[in-house]
């Protein structure tokens, strides 16, 4: 009997090509589109057409209530507390590798699969299945996947893991005459129309943000801000104040409702503290590894010291604009994900 896989299908070329590859390998594939925020009509139609063409079953899994509670409300709450959350990481933790995995077991599936750019392989070094960086370095998505429980990794398939470029994946879709072969990639946060964070937050927050002071670290007040949600650490443009040198946002002071600004050099730090840890492999204390503080940043050498309520991370070289609410993800020298946590 063929192994059964529940494949997350967004209607895009990556998940559609994943369906082809899984079927070619002999899996019994069930395509599943998750309804998360009410705007998936086109995605559902596209995924359904792909499944019909390939002769596989397609189901829709309505997770709108869970998504609103677990992802959207968390996003609003974190911004209200002057943190910069990453909703995709929260969605992967609670929804795509949480609720979705539960659904797979309910349907008698042996595995779940997605079109993420990442690898799963057995590591002799760690004596377990591990998550590893994709061949497609620029599109690697392991930064978003560190929250996957380590017990689940052996039940995950990333069908695109042996491909080196998006062009190769599109060619597979074209060869199989899929209509979505040249569909554009989605870049924005899925539940925020036109990627306008401020507009979304203002429409959904319980309390409107209050104005407050913009001041230098030394205490000098330079002007007023129109709500902390409009600012991020490292921001230079749109501050509405000027000074004798270029100003950057250094800190969002929730207690005093102030935006603290200063020189670019003040943005650099070689330390951070992280909580809400998830370890995908067992690591020793005083871990030496490579750490990444945001999706687009490069990994940097760091020491990780386990503390009672989190970890202290000390970088070999100072990092720019370490931001509360973002994640720090740890890798070994082979690109294997060790774990990660939320910067606090």
8 A C-beta contact, residue 88 and residue 70: no
Whether 187 is in a domain gets the answer: yes
The answer on 176 and 107 residing in a single domain is yes
Give the rounded distance of the alpha carbon of 312 from its chain centre.
22
Whether 229 is in a domain gets the answer: yes
The answer on 228 and 80 residing in a single domain is no
Cβ within 8 Å of residue 219, ≥6 positions away? none
Upper half-sphere CA count for residue 32 (Cβ side, 13 Å): 27
CATH number, position 24: 3.40.50.620
Domain hosting 107: range is: 4-115+159-193
Token pair for 4: 């059964």
Q: How far apart are CA 338 and CA 313, in angstroms?
A: 14
Whether 144 is in a domain gets the answer: no
Q: Strand 221-225 vs strand 258-262: parallel, antiparallel, or unpaired?
A: unpaired
8 A C-beta contact, residue 88 and residue 82: no
Mark whether 190 is an active-site residue.
yes
The answer on 258 and 271 residing in a single domain is no
Pick from 280, 223, 216: nearest CA to 249: 216
The answer on 296 and 233 residing in a single domain is no
The answer on 109 and 76 residing in a single domain is yes
The answer on 106 and 60 residing in a single domain is yes
Tokens 């998940």, located at residue: 15
Of the residues 193, 217, 247, the one at which a domain ends? 193
The answer on 97 and 168 residing in a single domain is yes
Q: Strand 28-35 vs strand 57-62: parallel, antiparallel, or unpaired?
A: parallel
- Splitting the chain (344 residues) into consecutive groups of 10 residues, what average pLDDT does each group show? 92 96 97 94 95 97 97 96 95 97 97 97 97 90 97 98 91 91 82 90 92 95 96 95 96 96 97 98 92 96 95 98 97 98 97
CATH number, position 337: 2.40.30.10
Give the rounded distance of the alpha carbon of 253 from its chain centre.
25
Q: How far apart are CA 341 and CA 328, in angstroms?
A: 6
Q: How far apart are CA 201 and CA 208, in angstroms?
A: 9
The answer on 98 and 27 residing in a single domain is yes
Give the rounded distance of the alpha carbon of 210 from its chain centre.
29
Mark whether 289 is an active-site residue.
no
8 A C-beta contact, residue 6 and residue 157: no
The answer on 271 and 258 residing in a single domain is no
Helices assigned H by DSSP within the chain: 13-24, 41-54, 64-67, 73-80, 87-91, 100-106, 166-175, 197-204
- pTM for the model: 0.95
Chain length of the chain = 344
Cβ within 8 Å of residue 15, ≥6 positions away? 7, 8, 9, 47, 114, 115
Of the residues 193, 218, 235, the one at which a domain ends? 193
Give the rounded distance of the alpha carbon of 174 from its chain centre.
28
- Crossing angle of helices 13-24 and 166-175, in 10° steps, is 60
Q: How far apart are CA 213 and CA 234, in angstroms?
A: 17
Q: How many domains does the chain contain in total?
A: 3
pLDDT score recorded for residue 138: 86
The answer on 31 and 64 residing in a single domain is yes
- Which residue is catalytic, options 32, 51, 91, 289? 91
pLDDT score recorded for residue 1: 64
- Crossing angle of helices 73-80 and 197-204, in 10° steps, is 100
- Which residue is catalytic, options 32, 51, 88, 190? 190
Q: How far apart are CA 324 and CA 232, in angstroms?
A: 10
Whether 101 is in a domain gets the answer: yes
Whether 148 is in a domain gets the answer: no
pLDDT score recorded for residue 73: 97
The answer on 284 and 250 residing in a single domain is no
Q: How far apart are CA 111 and CA 108, in angstroms?
A: 9
Whether 102 is in a domain gets the answer: yes
Whether 236 is in a domain gets the answer: yes
Residue 321: what are its φ and ψ, rounded to 5°? 55, 55
The answer on 64 and 14 residing in a single domain is yes
Segment 117-147, tens digit of pLDDT: 999 999 999 999 999 999 888 889 999 999 9
Give one DSSP letter per residue of 249-265, joined into a string.
EEEEETTTTEEEEE-GG
Whether 152 is in a domain gets the answer: no
Segment 95-117, tens digit of pLDDT: 999 999 999 999 999 999 999 99
pLDDT score recorded for residue 108: 97
8 A C-beta contact, residue 42 and residue 11: yes
Tokens 């492999």, located at residue: 281
């Amino acid at each position: 009997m063929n192994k059964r896989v529940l494949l997350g299908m967004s209607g895009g070329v990556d998940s559609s090509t994943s369906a082809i590859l899984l079927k070619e390998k002999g899996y019994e594939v069930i395509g599943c589109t998750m309804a998360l925020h009410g705007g998936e009509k086109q995605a559902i139609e596209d995924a359904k057409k792909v499944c019909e063409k390939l002769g596989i079953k397609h189901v829709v899994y309505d997770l709108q209530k869970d998504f609103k509670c677990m992802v959207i409300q968390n996003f609003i709450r974190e911004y209200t507390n002057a943190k910069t959350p990453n909703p995709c990481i929260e969605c992967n933790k609670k929804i795509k590798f949480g609720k979705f995995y539960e659904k797979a077991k309910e349907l008698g599936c042996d595995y779940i699969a997605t079109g993420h750019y990442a690898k799963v392989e057995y590591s002799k070094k760690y004596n377990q299945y591990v998550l590893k960086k994709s061949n497609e370095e620029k599109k690697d998505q392991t930064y978003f996947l560190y929250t996957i429980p380590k017990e689940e990794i052996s039940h995950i398939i990333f069908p695109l893991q042996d491909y080196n470029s998006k062009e190769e994946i599109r060619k597979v879709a074209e060869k199989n005459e899929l209509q979505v072969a040249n569909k554009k990639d989605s870049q924005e946060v899925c539940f925020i129309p036109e990627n306008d964070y401020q507009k979304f937050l203002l429409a959904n927050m319980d309390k409107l943000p209050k104005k407050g002071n913009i001041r230098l670290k030394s205490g000098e007040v330079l002007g007023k801000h129109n709500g902390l949600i409009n600012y991020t650490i490292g921001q230079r443009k749109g501050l509405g104040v000027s000074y004798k040198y270029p100003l950057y946002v250094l800190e969002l002071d929730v207690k005093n409702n102030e935006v603290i600004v200063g020189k670019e050099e003040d943005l650099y730090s070689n330390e951070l503290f992280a909580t809400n840890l998830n370890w995908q492999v067992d690591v020793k204390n005083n871990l030496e590894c490579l750490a990444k503080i945001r999706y687009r940043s490069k990994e940097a050498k760091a020491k990780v010291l386990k503390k009672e309520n989190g970890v202290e991370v000390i970088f070999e070289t100072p990092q720019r604009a370490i931001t509360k609410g973002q994640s720090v993800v740890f890798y070994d020298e082979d690109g294997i994900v060790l774990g990660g946590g939320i910067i606090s």
